[in-house]
A and B are shown apart, each in its own frame.
Chain A
Amino acid sequence: QQQVKQSPQSLIVQKGGISIINCAYENTAFDYFPWYQQFPGKGPALLIAIRPDVSEKKEGRFTISFNKSAKQFSLHIMDSQPGDSATYFCAASLADRGSTLGRLYFGRGTQLTVWP
């Protein structure tokens, strides 16, 4: 059973537009929600992360919106640029205690293309 569901699978956005990627989860015990960015030929790199005690976190052009009651969270990329073209993964994790080990459960990824 997939723990984190991500959509859309692919996204094409015009330069300067807003890119929105959505994720949903079932396990209410998750308490850490990171987003990873991956460029071709490279490993994923942490982009931004949020904990469930806040509804929004912003870092530059990247914003996570978190809806605890709906068990959904999303990544918004404002003023999208061609350099943002990459694959984006959402993930969720239980608290890093003992047997849970901070294990990450990943969505299946969204391939974002920003046209100039």
Chain B
Amino acid sequence: NAGVTQTPKFRVLKTGQSMTLLCAQDMNHEYMYWYRQDPGMGLRLIHYSVGEGTTAKGEVPDGYNVSRLKKQNFLLGLESAAPSQTSVYFCASAPGTGRGVNQPQHFGDGTRLSIL
């Protein structure tokens, strides 16, 4: 089982360029999440999804868009990259029962994104 796979692992962009980060999970999880991790800031939620075709904003959604056309994939897009978006991006998934019982989130190994 691969778990949660993020593509690419590293990327350097110029200001104003666009790109899409891909997250794929093979655990048949309902919930998926995108976080960014910055030094001293912990993990901050960007967007999340409770199922195929649904998305919602998290704590720091500005400058990002997401799509979940297939249950196993969650895409994070940067339409016009800015230096402030230089960060490490993590995708996570969870079974998501919706019945009051929390399930642990499983994380990928991240995408390191630098914007010049």
A residues near B, CB below 8 A? 6, 9, 31-32, 34, 36, 41-46, 49, 89, 93, 95-98, 101-104, 106-109
Contacts and interface: CB of A to CB of B under 8 A. Distances in A.
Interface in B24-68: 31, 40-45, 48, 50, 56, 58
A96 B103 contact: yes
User: 7 tightest CB-CB pairs across the interface, nearest first?
Assistant: A43-B107, A32-B102, A108-B42, A46-B104, A106-B42, A106-B43, A95-B100
Chain A interface, DSSP helix/strand/loop, else mixed: loop
Contacts of B41: 108
B40 A9 contact: yes
A95 B99 CA distance: 8
B55 to A, nearest CB: 12
Interface in B73-108: 90, 92, 94, 96-108
A43 B90 contact: yes
Contact of B108 (A43, A93, A106): A43
